[in-house]
Structure 1
């Protein structure tokens, strides 16, 4: 039937006596329902961008976290925690994380983000996922970087304590992979990790929340996986303090999150507590409530000298939330001095929005 239609069309094209002719068009149904399927990596990035999973959960931006950086073999030293304590130089956690990851190297990169509980490492990692998505979708002249966020604690709850890391990785990819998620299996994941067409940025969280035996097995799985990974792919993993099992991972860099200095707490509360979007180049939106809360809390900390408590990221977030409740109560009864809030607005400037635990 198809050949007959094509032959008839050719005959009419070459027949000078025919003034009316037609070209047959063949419509076929493809198995996937699409004749031209978009790039699945780009489709996955768009699916992640539309998801609420990586949206900021706190409306006051990102805390200006600091860290101590170890490289050159120090990060794999048995005494790395002692080295951290003896290192006075601090770096900006967000800037340093991006500086390490932005230049794709020929070898694999494994960055450890260590710290005490409540130092906002989980939110730092989710922020990194969101930032990576935006960069990959907006920068057409660079290699595409696909972030895959694996929450180990949540994966163990869903898949059971005997699930290996590769199974958890496959399930994390399936959540956002386009079309039939059944197409995502271990073979696909391994093929992507052995190829360098798309850079995979594996972001691994909540390892320290697992029982020691389960954590040790997953660390071994991750270590074995790194042997099959092509150069250029990246691992970013949050770890806690203590535990000899961490030392077996081939870290190339380690950033140990520190408590906030008094100067950084003051700068955040008085200047940077704005409502804004991490990827908004136009700047943060000046919010009267946010600025008024920041100024009031900064004044209270100056009066009580409780900066040692505010240095803990989780506790500073809690203080801001309590100040917000106080602001709402005073605003309701019209007891909050409006001139003070308006005067504070001029102090708010654009900074990287703030991280929350």
Structure 2
């Protein structure tokens, strides 16, 4: 018996009782009075669940559809063409099946590799970008399949739309934490750290024990925005201990907080465990947008989330160091890889 199994899809009211559905539309439309009540809804969701559906996000459906079509075309390529773009030290490129394990997870002891293949892209930096020329870790160039030149526009169109959405959400999170609305903005300036992950989960043999499409884990991001098609597989562990399969709700994205938000908020906001088991009998595709601060940002517990009776649980840390350690624990190509740290030391960073 697997750690979690899928259940019958519940109606929207039943879903909303577990994972809130929050409409950002009035705030995004410029209604100044909408920010305070919206921030209260977000605070409740972040403290109680760590997940919520975002409605009224403003991302056109055709941008999402084109991104899924581009993902399908990429994953349909012959394996040798995808392997030519194999995931590099900047976590950009193709991650094949059986090449990752949830080694950093404190939720579940993963003993077998994840059963998915993924294509990662980030900012589409040119060869003359200052960080590319300097060889800075986590600031590399995207890798594109030469046989599919047109998927680049569709993938980067989605990247741009989600980056704009993440930026527009920052004032809501800041307000929800008792900060000035513009508090987070400087930490996401000059290219926030973004990984856009196009995932493909082939059908699984669910009789094999402890094998997952993605083993139970928490994300290492500030927040994650997930787009899915109507194929089940995802399960979220609620604070009750129930593994809940959130259905797709048309016109929404599923948003969850990651470990960086949890660290910044001194554990006030939840980074909730989740995983994937594709027992649907068909191929499953999803697109995960991992949104995090600039890699040079120092993450220190927020002043509104600590005090004499609630001291900081985490020391200040540079986000770059935290994410590189996360990658080393989770991706086989990174294990034992020390060149990033050596390069940083050489550059005095």
Question: Could you state the TM-score of these two structures normalised by the residue count of structure 1?
Answer: 0.24
Question: Could you state the TM-score of these two structures normalised by the residue count of structure 2?
Answer: 0.24
Which has more helix, going by share of residues?
Answer: 1
Query: Which is bigger in relative contact order (C-alpha 8 A, separation at least 6)?
Result: 1
